A and B are shown apart, each in its own frame.
Chain A
């Protein structure tokens, strides 16, 4: 079973990974966007977005989704940061997981954008990666983890 960082600790992944060839993903399995569209029952579903797949089509069904995975095929493609904020700002409450080839030095930014789970392609040293989540204790901007910008909090 693959491991990931979730809510600041290392846990086992309880979801079945995406299977692009499967015509009817079972419950508990992560769907591609296309598979997800075809699901008859979206309650408790899990869906994975790739760069270029904006989250807009999910907005009407966000409360039915338990897991939203945003994949990073390369760490320099930052579209997923905006996707994450966008879904959180539209009220998504479920698990928001980054997967793929992002690096630990991006963890704090990812977390700020609303991700609460991190499945790294290289999961050999998740303990070390955990420390990167705490790189910053103060921020200027409003984001998902701190909805008030510093200028509304300065004393």
Chain B
């Protein structure tokens, strides 16, 4: 992974000092609330319902074991001994004290971490495929480009007071696991007719109040133009994005208003001034960025032998076999597998992880996965490089720590924002809904029979729980001071992206599990052979689901 040199370290250290000074001045009454707001947000600090919330950046979801240990440490010293993995692969502390935040940031800087631009109207943490570098369907590792974007966007002087937040995602594989269609800018590594890999750029995707799928602004861009092109897009947005209404301020609204062709033209015009300028990437810089993501010291493994051992373990222990089937996947190299650790055990808030679990993960990653861990936008954790022969030992440790719930990609692997229990923007609670659904569908055989299914929950229109792109999406709404839940169906964040359609009037909290049950049984009744939920939904449309969901109890 990327390692800071003295320059990177200096920038982070100076940022800590700056924020310490800002916090001191705020506490002394020298900065008003309104002035402090963007300053603290650009350092990931929210003042929430019960306590502040600090969002720590995990650039493109990659961490090492000393960073995990530091997070565990911080959560014990400054918080309540657990952290939360957000849907942008970041880590959130729920209970820090404002006065102590500068100290937390100073601690983070010792392990090359920070909270820069994890909130606010600026360029946020760039995200990518959680399986980057190890996926078997990858054209090129996207992480070097994520790192190049991270550096460029960090404390960018021109784009710190944009009309609204700005999110970039990069993907380099056949399957899009980074949801690039739902980002302000989505970047895909693609080959041209001669096989040269360049960048396809999408613009104007996003969730929130007005969900939109990104439009292609450039089919193929030479990689060296990455930063100047991004700068041109951002400059058009910064100058022309709406600032009169925060719900209409995202770039998607501007792109829609101008039309993609006029928007492209405006970008090209800005770009002529910037193109081939000093920010044009050099070959040396691309090589340098790539050098941090070279293969670790993989062993040349006899995969046939390893697989036959694995099969034996599986035959001996069906619970292990099931976990292998549900929570691990093919690695691009023989003899290795990718392991996803589920943070979705029933009874625990989705995405929460305790200090002890973090410490265990640090140890296990050192033992089994070259000391690296990834966080996912589905709010789970990944060990990317586990030898097949080590899977059984690893599983036993995970099992004992409650990190081996075999539900990755299934109904109970719910994406869920913190909602009304923590978030001051919420219309409704989201965590109890997740728990009620997990409890109701505790029959794993039924869950597996439903096939891969994404159920996403957001506590308000801000859509941190990505409800529009869940095959089943649940949104908390406020009806005359009461918490209600709207359900939408048919969302999808893969390359054939689609936005979920609202089923109908919203439901009371206590009715949600029953309604979900009805939706699922409708699917089970209507599905053909190998159809998954989305296939069936796309074939039959929303009506059969609607009819069943709103039918009077029989």
Contacts and interface: CB of A to CB of B under 8 A. Distances in A.
B162 A78 contact: yes
B300 interface: no
A136 B158 contact: no
A34 interface: no
Interface string A53-95: 0100000000000000000000111110111011001100000
Nearest to A135: B18
B161 A151 contact: no
B270 to A, nearest CB: 9
Contacts of A141: 152, 156-157, 279
A77 B14 CA distance: 25
A74 B372 CA distance: 44
Interface stretch (B207-215, B281-289, B484-492): B281-289
A20 interface: no
B288 A151 contact: yes
Contacts of B22: 105
Contact of B11 (A85, A110, A136): A136
Contact of B279 (A76, A78, A82, A149): A149
Name the prevailing secondary structure of the A interface residues: loop
Interface in B22-36: 22, 31, 35
Given A81-B238, A143-B158, A138 B18 contact: no
A75 B159 contact: no
Nearest to B234: A82
A103 B32 CA distance: 11
A136 B18 contact: yes
A136 B16 CA distance: 11
Interface string B104-127: 000000000000000001000000
Which of B14, B152, B239, B243 counts the most chain A CB atoms within 10 A? B239
Interface string A96-135: 0000000101101110110000000000000000000001
Name the prevailing secondary structure of the B interface residues: helix
A37 interface: no
B548 interface: no
B10 interface: yes
A77 B274 CA distance: 23
Size class of the contact patch on chain A: 35 or more
A52 B328 CA distance: 53
B160 A78 contact: yes
Given A81-B157, A108-B157, A136-B11, A151 B162 contact: no
Contacts of B121: 76, 78
A75 B243 CA distance: 12
Interface in B233-270: 235, 238-239, 243
Size class of the contact patch on chain B: 35 or more
A85 B5 CA distance: 29
Which of B151, B155, B282 counts the most chain A CB atoms within 10 A? B155
Contacts of B157: 81, 108-110, 112-113, 139, 141, 143
A142 interface: yes
Contacts of A14: none
Given A54-B239, A78-B238, A149-B152, A138 B160 contact: no
B159 A148 contact: no
A76 B161 contact: yes
Contacts of A86: 235
Contact of A151 (B11, B151, B239): B151
A85 B235 CA distance: 10
B553 interface: no
A105 B278 contact: no
A73 to B, nearest CB: 11
B329 interface: no
Given A103-B35, A136-B18, A137-B14, A79 B238 contact: yes
Nearest to B120: A76
Given A79-B238, A151-B288, 11 more contacts: A51-B243, A54-B239, A77-B243, A78-B238, A81-B159, A105-B22, A136-B15, A138-B11, A149-B227, A151-B151, A152-B282
Interface of B: 5, 7, 10-11, 14-15, 17-18, 22, 31, 35, 38-39, 121, 148, 151-152, 154-162, 227, 235, 238-239, 243, 273-274, 277-279, 281-282, 285, 288
Q: Which 3 A-B pairs have the closest CB atoms?
A: A78-B161, A112-B157, A109-B157
7 contacts: A106-B160, A112-B158, A135-B14, A138-B11, A140-B154, A141-B152, A149-B279
